[in-house]
Structure 1
Amino acid sequence: MNKISLTALLISIILFSFFFLENTATIANNKMDLAILAETLQDEDVVIKEWSLHARKITPEMNSKEEINQFFKQLKKQFPEWDWTTKKSERHYEIKGELLNLSSQPYNETIHLRSSANKNKFETYITYEIKGYKWSKEAELFVSKIAKKKIDDIFRGNVTIFSCIKGEFSDRIEKALSRKANKFLTILDGEEIEALSEDSFVSVSAYTPLLGEVISNETNKMNLQLALRTEGLGARTTIVVGTPIITVEY
């Protein structure tokens, strides 16, 4: 099976447009969703190779150049150590801020504002993203305390948060991939919504009450996706887990 990209995922969501994102609480049991997923994977001997948290929001209240410029001034005042770039035209506005953390647990932070003119108003959305490559107590503290405060400061209200982790099992697994996927569902108290199973690849979409963000319609809720892949005979198995959906290639 070819790798499934974020673009393909977004297209599939558009095709099934009866789904919508609920702005529910992004913390369950006083833990960020990302921390819950990381703890679950590490308990099952998964070595975390990459993790990300992506917050985004459409801001209908920011619909003029003056309001966008004022918001940009506030961002630069809040985050003076960040590197900021802007791209402007008559009908488009783009602001990007980046910060590279060079500690023993390196991660990148990005704020991105994109705005396009629609008639006499601008349609604007903002994203804040963190990407890291190791998960530790330091990373969990940063996500649950510092990053959460930044999200509150940037977005001021309800915001949709996507959390995703890539990992690799420390040992080769002998069980069928579907059995391993089902074990993760059991641990996370997940109810399967749909699944795809092949010899070397398994993907599952499910709902669990342990995670906050939800995609739903009148009859179904979904907030967990996981995918397991084995590249060949004797190869190690990789796993990607995301909530409410996976937002990276797998």
Structure 2
Amino acid sequence: MKKIILMLCIFLLLVTITTKEAKAFYEENELSQITKIANQNGVSINTWSMYIKEPIQHFSTMRDLDKSVSVFLKNEKEYTWSPKKAEKDYYKIEGKKESASLGIAEKVLIIIYSQNGKYNLSITYDIKGKWNESKWPAIFNMYKNKIDNYSTFYTIQGTANIENSLYTEASQLLADFSGEEVQSLNENNFVSLSAYTKHWENKLPLGDNQYMNLHIAYRETSEPANKVKVTIGTPIITSEY
């Protein structure tokens, strides 16, 4: 009986530590900061996405690459995998799974191609869902290892009622990120700002010693004139906007 109680206490302690770790990560994570600032600027968040890209793996022979893919597919049994499909210059395999309890859908894309005498393997994960802040700690626990070790892109989409021009509203949002505009596209019904903020380490080079790690887009909709679609991503938006 004492052993059972001890094991139960250890289990509860581990759960508590994991939950605190997830909450601490959430406070520091780019996605958390994006959603917080978006809410402060009157953006009602509808959907979110997380795009994770593993480093390209290189193989000397196709046989070695195929072995690696076989091991990967064997370990990832939760996905429904498509047969290998030949495209013009590469092969691809897609895996899909959904989590109704977390409200997310995930797609894994495996790309196989040859270049410079090497056989290359690219693996990316595309996770999407309706935004629900309370579910993020559990989602984080699922992907923590990948988030810690691979390139991760976040995007949120929502709507907002605005009083000023699209560019003015986007610039005000950018200021709350302490961001500096690097490039912009300003049209009558659409504005896109590429920017850089020192708060985040992740960044993409643009040339001429310029970088971006924040992307903001405002677009007019068919809704009332003052209601617009808002998309925010880091280091770049990875969905249609």
Q: Same fold (TM over 0.5)?
A: yes
Do the aligned partners of residues 92 and 225 (structure 1) sit closer, same or farther apart at CA in structure 2, a change above 3 Å counting?
closer
1:247 alignment partner in structure 2: 238
- Indicate the residue corresponding to 2:209 in structure 1: 219
Helix, strand or coil for the counterpart of 1:81? coil
State the one-letter code of the partner of 2:213.
Answer: N
- Kindly indicate whether residue 147 of structure 2 is the aligned counterpart of residue 147 of structure 1: no
Rg comparison, structure with higher value: 2
Match of 1:195 among 184, 188, 203: 184
* Structure 2: runs of 5+ lacking an equivalent: 1-24
Distance 1:66 1:32, change over 3 A: farther
* Deviation larger for 60-69 or 44-53: 60-69
TM-score, normalised relative to structure 2:
0.77
Question: Structure 1: which amino acid aligns with 2:215?
Answer: Q
Aligned residue in 2 for 1:116: 113
Return the offset for 1:29: 9.0
* Contact 1:225 1:241 survives alignment (8 Å): yes
Instruction: List structure 1 runs of 4+ shifted beyond 4 angstroms.
Output: none
Q: Which structure shows the higher helix fraction?
A: 2
Structure 1 pair 48–67 and aligned structure 2 pair: CA distance change class (3 A): farther
**Superposition map of 1:28-177 within 5 A:** 31-87=28-84, 92-103=90-101, 105-118=102-115, 120-138=117-135, 140-151=136-147, 157=149, 159-169=150-160, 172-177=161-166
Alignment partners' CA distance in 1, 2:152 and 2:200: 11
In 1, Cα distance between equivalents of 2:182 and 2:56: 32
SS in 2 for 1:191: strand
The 2-side partners of 1:150 and 1:136 are apart by: 20
In structure 2, relative to structure 1, the CA distance for the partners of 1:85 and 1:231 (3 Å cut) is closer
- 3-state DSSP of counterpart to 1:240: strand
Higher RCO (Cα < 8 Å, 6 or more apart): 1
What SS does the aligned partner of 2:37 have?
helix
Please tell me the residue identity of whatever aligns with 1:43: Q
Cα RMSD over matched residues? 2.8
Provide closer, same or farther for how the CA distance between residues 119 and 220 of structure 1 changes in structure 2, counting only shifts above 3 A: closer
Structure 1 unaligned spans of 5+:
1-27
Does the 8 Å CA contact 2:61/2:118 hold for their aligned counterparts? yes
The SS at the match of 2:185 is strand
C-alpha distance 123-165 of structure 1, shift in aligned 2 (>3 A): same
- Percent identity between matched residues is 28
Q: Is the 8 A contact 2:182 2:196 kept in 1?
A: yes
Note the C-alpha offset of 1:115.
0.7
Query: Structure 1 residues 143, 39: CA separation in 2 closer, same or farther (over 3 Å shift)?
Result: farther
Alpha-carbon distance in 2 for matches of 1:120, 1:214: 30
Aligned to 1:236: 227
* CA separation of 1:42 and 1:78: change in aligned 2, threshold 3 A: farther
CA distance in 2, matches of 1:96, 1:227: 30
Cα distance in structure 1, aligned partners of 2:56 and 2:180: 33
Distance 1:52 1:117, change over 3 A: same
1:201-244: CA deviation from partner (whole Å, max 9, x where unpaired): 22111101222320124521211111111236635111011111
CA contact (8 A) 1:31 1:144 kept: no
